[in-house]
Structure 1
Amino acid sequence: MLADDDLARIYHQRSQQTLGVWREPATAATHTGFYPESLKAIATGIQPELSPSVRHLLAELGQQTRHDPLADTMQPDHFHLTFLAITPALYDRQRQPENCAGLKRLAAAYCLEQELTIRELRLVALPNQLLLAGIPDTADIACRAAFWNALQRSEWAELLRQRYNGSRQPPPFWHSTLLRYHASILPDYLQRFFQARSEQRYGEICGKIRLRLVSYNWSESEELA
């Protein structure tokens, strides 16, 4: 299980790797798109009240990107932090999730309605994204791992595998994606935005974990039927 220092080191290393890609743009992977915007996925996560520092960060980012059609920036009303996504983006009006009773029982047993707090929030850079990531409590890391393992033993195992590209363990990051940029790397002005704020900390967020059917940015979020 990752300690606080381990997770902070992972975040720092990922941003350092990204800085290297920005210096050598030819090394960036070709941008092939993000999640399908017209489809929804099943996920667990929180939609917390925003602290003043996070709200201010979103306002600054929105101001910077307001005239850039390639920038897909998180809106404050859609802010969320995913605890664990369960499926890829598969669902629309024609295809709805089915046989969810067992999933609801699993989620209730392992995480639903529990308070999740993520502290020491900081920006983390990917080549064409900006994340707001932080440190969970040790108990929450264990809780997510237990929920992951329970899903692996359930009828949802294959969809979980598809969502996380066959990974055998949950993703290490605890984050919200503040910006997706529809190109291989961020433009210079957003690189500078990150570099000017990379050492800043944005406090903590907390909220109760919910099980939802959501669009890629949680602009659409509903209870499972």
Structure 2
Amino acid sequence: MSNSEELQQLYIRASEKTLAKWATHPDIGRVREEAFYEPHKLAITSGIQPALTPPLSQLLHELHELVHNDSLADVMPYTGLHFTFFAITMPLYQFRDISMLDQQLPAIFAEHAQNLVATISNLRLVALPNQLLIAGTPDVESQSAKAAFARQLLDSPWREKLRDRHGDIPLPPPFWHSTLLRYQAEFIPQRFRDYFLAHQSHNYGNVTAQVQLAFTNYNWTEVHSVSGD
């Protein structure tokens, strides 16, 4: 998906579907017993770690204020700001595994994204039933690089890891996003819904940073970059 307007419409439709679900489920529903992702292991992924801009800093501050000691609410730490380029595996690894990485993966990454600086523009909130995302539209070069990187990985032995991570959806996924809030239940509570409704039309600006291949924990507060040289 290369047209920025089409991508913005995709975000709007995702939020509209969520609003319809919220309307029929005023409570949080079933509490999840399992975590969204294994919190103590590392995944192989790619993405950017941009500077925390004033609009995004304020957004995170307001979301943290809404937590109210709610243990089910997991809001992105200020040090964890990132936007996914292309996620490759589930969290499967320990730190000791990094040195044993098959060098085919860094080589493929280097071919398509070495020294690539990505810009994601027109950032907006996107609602999922139990999550809030911040998502935007990428520059054309980054869009093309992501698609080419995904295609080559799908033609490599990494394809099974990709399917384990993403399921049977077409790859790469269209969203360019970061998850700001994960709520450990079927649906987020009313205070977060109200926040989304009040801010869904707000433009949070742009972010820019170099794309990196890395082993990270689920919220990018632990990041071990992998060289593609």
TM-score range normalised by the length of the shorter chain: over 0.9
Match of 2:198 among 196, 199, 215: 196
* Separation (CA, whole Å) in 1 of partners of 2:151 and 2:118: 19
Superposition RMSD in Å? 2.0
Q: Counterpart in 2 of 1:22?
A: 22
Q: Which 5+ residue runs of structure 2 have no aligned equivalent?
A: none
Q: Give identity over the alignment, percent.
A: 38
Q: Counterpart in 1 of 2:74?
A: 72
1:216 and 1:125, CA in 2 relative to 1: closer, same or farther beyond 3 A? same
Decide whether the 8 Å contact of 2:215 with 2:226 is kept in 1: yes
Decide whether the 8 Å contact of 1:116 with 1:207 is kept in 2: yes
Q: Counterpart in 1 of 2:221?
A: 219
Q: CA deviation at 1:219?
A: 1.3
Q: What SS does the aligned partner of 1:178 have?
A: strand
Per mean C-alpha deviation after superposition, the further-off stretch among 59-68 and 117-126 is 59-68
Q: What TM-score does the superposition give when structure 1 sets the normalisation length?
A: 0.93
Match of 1:161 among 151, 160, 163: 163
Q: Counterpart in 1 of 2:7?
A: 7
* Separation (CA, whole Å) in 2 of partners of 1:172 and 1:29: 28
Q: CA deviation at 1:46?
A: 0.6
Deviations 1:179-211 (A, max 9, x none): 000111010111001101011010000100011
Q: What TM-score does the superposition give when structure 2 sets the normalisation length?
A: 0.92
Q: Counterpart in 2 of 1:126?
A: 128
* Separation (CA, whole Å) in 2 of partners of 1:224 and 1:106: 12
Q: Which 5+ residue runs of structure 1 have no aligned equivalent?
A: none
Q: CA deviation at 1:95?
A: 5.2
* Separation (CA, whole Å) in 1 of partners of 2:103 and 2:162: 17
Decide whether the 8 Å contact of 1:45 with 1:210 is kept in 2: yes
Decide whether the 8 Å contact of 2:131 with 2:182 is kept in 1: yes
* Separation (CA, whole Å) in 1 of partners of 2:82 and 2:161: 22
Q: CA deviation at 1:18?
A: 0.5
Aligned residues: 225
* Separation (CA, whole Å) in 1 of partners of 2:198 and 2:78: 21
* Separation (CA, whole Å) in 2 of partners of 1:101 and 1:15: 39
